[in-house]
Amino acid sequence: MASSINNSAWLEWMAQLMGGVSRQTCAATFPPDRFYCLLDELPLHLVPRPALAAESQDAGRALFLNPQCRLYVGEGLPGELASRKELLSAFALQGTIAWVRDATDSLVPFWLGPKLESVVRQLRIDEPIPESVPAWARSILESAGILVYADSIAHQRTEREEALGRAAELFRKKGYAPVRGLIHPFHIAALRRYYRHRIRTGRISLGDGQSSRRYAAYNDPVARFFHRQIEVSLSSVAGEPVKLSYVYLASYLSGAELRKHIDREQCEFSITLCLDFSPEPALATPWPIRLDTPTGTVTVYQALGDGLAYRGTRLPHYRSPLGKGQRPLQFSSITWRRILRHRWTRRLELVQFVGSGAGPQRLKARLHAFLRRG
Ligand SMILES: [Fe+2]
């Protein structure tokens, strides 16, 4: 997944964002209670800092329009999403949206304002982008995966597969595994804006059965969309196909705590993803989750966008109370469960997986999972 922005292009981009009458004029046409990720006018202060800090290593190489990027206007949707409109019920389906297939084969949306749309519409798939495309536009479109290098799609897939293979190995051995990069940093920023607005305007209620000090939402449609996007990655980490059960969004207030508990039986695998935190963290947030494992307590600090997969039914987990004066923070806790399949079905799937060209680490993790369950 492309996620870094070249520093010089970043400065140019900042300058054009801050300049004159063009500032945030397009975003103002979007309903604030809908989800959108408008590349021309991203909420930069909400993009996780590490994603903005890294220098591009590919300066000077030819960029191309991603052949797996398609533009749709208004409520037009890629065919495979047409039957899942309920997941998009809170999206601002207006203007031009670039749907891009990412390294895990999921389709992710980026909204284009007039400036970037005019840039993208003049590009042809098999030709390097012209030098007339400004550096800021090139950098943003590259970070979103709309522009790619000749070998970057294959490279990103290999990187992703290796990272998931390492996570799967750790998950198999320890029952937990940190997983980074599940959601694009630009979408993290857009989600932060969206959920902050929903909480500020009272659309997410305060208090649930577990805590009176957190805003909570069950199966919010935008959260469900991203839950579906990361299904492939979660199955890879679990080492077997899993069925998504539900997604729970919780935004904690100072004084809140998460008492030690294990999850319900149907929540065999869980992932908690750090979506937001105030004040803005430079790296990891100061509110770690703790897991009691057979070999001792593990403390896991997360940065914005970091996920932690764990066996919620086996490993007791908890967080200490937030200190006085700490400001609200948001976490998205996602849970999913194993797909129960007949033994012969699982054997057939294993054969298909072996033939899919997956890397050795993923093959090893998958084989271990099969042998464990038979
Ligand atoms: Fe839990």
157 alpha carbon to ligand 1 midpoint, in Å? 31
Instruction: Measure the CA–CA gap between 298 and 44, rounded to whole angstroms.
Output: 33
307 alpha carbon to ligand 1 midpoint, in Å? 14
Give the burial class of 270: count Cβ atoms within 10 A of its Cβ; 0-12 exposed, 13-18 middle, 19 or more buried. Answer: buried
pLDDT given for residue 372 in this prediction:
59
259 alpha carbon to ligand 1 midpoint, in Å? 9
261 alpha carbon to ligand 1 midpoint, in Å? 6
pLDDT given for residue 24 in this prediction:
67
Give the burial class of 234: count Cβ atoms within 10 A of its Cβ; 0-12 exposed, 13-18 middle, 19 or more buried. Answer: buried
Please say whether the beta carbons of 369 and 339 come within 8 A.
no
37 alpha carbon to ligand 1 midpoint, in Å? 30
pLDDT given for residue 357 in this prediction:
65
Please give the average per-residue pLDDT across 292-296, as a whole number.
95
pLDDT exceeds 90 at position 352: no
127 alpha carbon to ligand 1 midpoint, in Å? 50
Report residue 64 CA to chain centroid gap.
24
CATH 2.60.120.620 fits 176-340, yes or no: yes
Please give the average per-residue pLDDT across 307-312, as a whole number.
93
298 alpha carbon to ligand 1 midpoint, in Å? 15
Instruction: Look up the pTM and report it.
Output: 0.84
How confident is residue 104, by pLDDT bands cut at 50, 70 and 90? confident
Place of tokens 């007791």: 316
250 alpha carbon to ligand 1 midpoint, in Å? 12
* 351: its two tokens: 């054969």
143 alpha carbon to ligand 1 midpoint, in Å? 34
263 alpha carbon to ligand 1 midpoint, in Å? 5
Any idea where the domains of the chain sit in the sequence? 7-150, 176-340
